[in-house]
Amino acid sequence: MTDYLSGWNVGVDPDLSEVLPDGRILAEVTLVLVDTEGHYKNDKPQLRAPVAVTLTPAQARKVAARLMAAAAEAEHEPPAPRVQE
């Protein structure tokens, strides 16, 4: 079952970082999906718990690229139906 959440937040947590041998700092990117609208259970509004994933910078770039591709696809009109002759 898919549980849809209505909001998101992205951040870089300095506590989730490490110093590389060359002195650079590598930090992880955290993506948090949150429920800002809620749903109803027994006629009472309920907010779902946030869901988080921590990504390496490379993983975050990959997710961002896929999101950009999906956004570009979503902006295009669907192809016209094919007419059979």
Rounded to 5°, the CA angle 41-44-49 comes to 65
Q: CB within 8 A of 3, min separation 6: which ones? A: 48
Handedness of CA 56, 57, 61, 64 (dihedral sign): positive
- Model confidence at 85, pLDDT cuts 50, 70, 90, reads low
**pLDDT per position as a tens digit, 28-73:** 999 999 988 777 666 777 778 889 999 999 999 999 999 998 888 8
